[in-house]
Structure 1
Amino acid sequence: MASWRFSITSPTLLLLFSLLVVEAHTSRKLISNKEQEDQNTSHLLKDGEFEDPSMYMFLNFNDLKLGAKLLVYFNKNELRTLPPLLTRQEADLIPFTKSKLDFLLNHFSISKESPQGKAMKKTLVRCNYKEIEGEYKFCGTSLESMLDLAKKTIASNADIKVMTTKVIAQNTTSYALHNYTFVETPKELVGIKIMPYPYVVYYCHGHKSGARVFEVSLVTDDGRQRVVGPAVCHMNTSMWNADHVAFKVLKIEPRSAPVCHFFPLDNIVWLAN
């Protein structure tokens, strides 16, 4: 990635690069905990469990209670290495569509078969996925376009609240896989719509109904690290892909039950009071 970045001069390609960062992160490449952080937490895993720590963000609805203990991984991208946010004026100078992929690759001298070229194609394809019933999504190419969507989907005159996941740690913060315990009863936030978007990619999505949002507080076994932030529960998963990783992680029949999940540290959830 670094060898590619130094040749970039256009801010528009920086957006595509930010999309590639997200694609690389969410492709669920199997990595060891030692690669993710310089410590070995494999002793927390049981036989048959996933080696990718980022799998451990899902939970069952019934787990949302005081005293429940879960294996969770709160990951965090290194934002200093990501491209800056774009203005609408900058982003609108270049097309953002799969039909223009050859133009984009040629313009920035990127080979179609290179990892960067393949990642660009994957990003553009993902942004054109058909919405499932009850879902809305949008790939914003600028900060302004993302904010416009927030106002449109939540309410233009709404009192908007922003929630993120925060880690409060003694000494050094650890983003490794940990056992966490709910130290407070999760507080449900009622009468809201949600629109989380990850990283600087502006991959925005939400659900028109059937979602419940909670404010949670968890602490590690050693008491040195506390996490507070949002958790969302999708109460109706009947339209989800039967191969969705959440069903595998939670060991439940596809589309049979609600699926809840925590958010990485650099995600944002927009709420309307």
Structure 2
Amino acid sequence: MASTLRFSVTFLTLLFSLWVVEVHTSRKLISIKEEEDQTISHLLKDGEFDDPSLYMFFRINDLKYDLKSGSKLPIFFNKDDPQKLPPLITRQEADLIPFTTSKLDFLLSHFSISKDSPQGKAMKETLERCNYKPMEGQLKFCGTSLESMLDLVKETIGSNADLKVMTTKVTVPTQNTVSYALHNYTFVEAPKELFGVKMLGCHRMPYPYAVYYCHGHKSGSRVFEVNLVSDNGRQRVVGPAVCHMDTSMWNTDHVAFKVLKIEPGTAPVCHFFPLDNIVWLTK
């Protein structure tokens, strides 16, 4: 009973932190100047990619930075305006709405969304992704409510009360405002690897209401807790990072390969997590 209570409190704390209203959001890109001693050739040059969210991928060797060298990683930790996010709905409400590509026309009509609009195309892509059969060794599902996501997490990686929740957290001194933009970051300390854990990463998907795409692998992924500071020293970021060690079965068009300039199966793909994503862990 005590362990269940502790987990419930932790989960409620998570929900509060995920949905608290932020009043400042910025998507401004900074320029990334090449330092004379910069030896990390795969870092994206300014202007090569217009979408700053692509600055979430990195190579596993980047976790082995010499902390004294001051090597930098350009990373984009975005936070959407909560007032513009699709609403959370209850499991009871979600169960009354079909969630399948075969009902796409009905769903578009139900939500008054045009099939050819950006929202309509995003709905189709979300449904297709959620309905794909998992790859060999992959764990995946889509949670259409927080209750269903929690139940599916327990079914997938463990039903005990030892589940741990990790999210990316940004902190600044009280007199400063959080800047959700592209910054150069350095490690405050060596990343801490979490050994012997099962992991599911849950990503918010574009849809008329809150939907989380959760996935993981039965083996072959390494999980780290990282502690970063922005190049101006004003912003600290603590959160999870995951390295997928075997990408041989991934789609060759996956954006991570374009960002890191590698081919499937040739090297691990690592990534940080956006602020509204959730990582579930258990032993």
TM-score of the two chains, using structure 2 as the length reference: 0.78
Amino acid across the alignment from 1:212: R
Aligned to 1:180: 185
The answer as to whether partners of 1:235 and 1:258 remain within 8 angstroms in 2 is yes
1:89 lines up with 2:88 in the alignment? no
Whether 1:193 and 2:198 are equivalent positions in the alignment is: yes
Q: Deviations over 1:15-35 (max 9, x none)?
A: xxxxxxxxxxxxxxxxxxxxx
In structure 2, distance between residues paired with 1:107 and 1:173: 38
Q: Tell me what 2:281 maps to.
A: 271
Q: Which amino acid aligns with 1:177?
A: L
Q: Which residue of 2 is the match for residue 106 of structure 1? A: 109
Aligned-residue CA RMSD (Å): 2.0
31, 45, 50: which one aligns with 1:42: 31
2:11 maps to which residue? none
- Taking a change above 3 Å as real, the CA distance of residues 38 and 143 of structure 1, as seen in their structure-2 partners, is closer
Aligned to 1:153: 156
Partner of 2:207: none
**Offset at 1:47?**
6.1
Structural mapping, 1:103-142, within 5 Å: 103-142=106-145
Q: Which amino acid aligns with 2:277?
A: N
Secondary structure of 2:98's counterpart equals: coil
Partner Cα separation in structure 1 for residue 90 and residue 227 of structure 2: 35
Which residue number corresponds to residue 165 of structure 1? 168
Distance 1:178-1:92 versus aligned 2 partners, 3 A rule: same
* Separation (CA, whole Å) in 1 of partners of 2:129 and 2:27: 32
Say if 2:63 is the partner of 1:74.
no
Q: Secondary structure at the match of 2:148?
A: helix
Rounded to whole Å, the distance in 2 between the matches of 1:38 and 1:117 is 24
CA contact (8 A) 1:139 1:203 kept: yes
SS at match of 1:227: strand
Change (3 A) 1:39 1:99: closer
1:135 Cα deviation from its structure 2 partner: 1.0
Amino acid at match of 1:152: E
Matches of 2:27 and 2:113, distance apart in 1 = 33
Q: Residue 195 of structure 1 aligns to a residue in which SS?
A: strand
Secondary structure at the residue paired with 2:199?
coil
Per-residue deviation, residues 121-162 of structure 1 (Å, max 9, x unmatched): 222222112322211211122222111111011111140111
% same residue: 74
The total of aligned residue pairs comes to 238
Letter in 2 for 1:63: D
What letter corresponds to residue 119 of structure 1 in structure 2? A
- 1:197 CA displacement: 0.9
CA contact (8 A) 1:65 1:182 kept: no
1:12-51 mapped onto 2 (5 Å cutoff): 37=26, 39-44=28-33, 46=45, 49-51=48-50
Q: Which stretch of the first structure deviates more once superposed, 87-96 or 98-107?
A: 98-107
CA shift in 2, pair 1:107/1:228, >3 Å:
closer
CA distance in 1, matches of 2:29, 2:112: 40
Given that residues 229 and 236 in structure 2 are in contact (C-alpha distance below 8 angstroms), is that contact kept between their aligned partners in structure 1?
yes
Distance 1:157 1:209, change over 3 A: same
1:142 to 1:194, Cα distance in 2 relative to 1, 3 A: same
104-113 vs 249-258, which moves further: 104-113
Q: Which digits, 9 at most, give the CA deviation of each residue in 1:3-61, with x for residues without a partner? A: xxxxxxxxxxxxxxxxxxxxxxxxxxxxxxxxx83745135463673232111111111
> What is the rounded CA distance, in whole Å, between the counterparts of 2:164 and 2:45 in structure 1?
39
Equivalent-residue separation in structure 1 for 2:46 and 2:277 (angstroms) = 31
TM-score normalised according to structure 1 size: 0.80
1:27 corresponding residue in structure 2: none
Change beyond 3 A, Cα 1:144–1:105? same
The answer as to 2:207 corresponding to 1:208 is no
1:227 deviation in Å?
0.8
C-alpha separation between the residues in 2 aligned to 1:47 and 1:115? Answer: 27
SS in 1 for 2:226: strand
* Larger CA deviation: 93-102 vs 110-119: 110-119
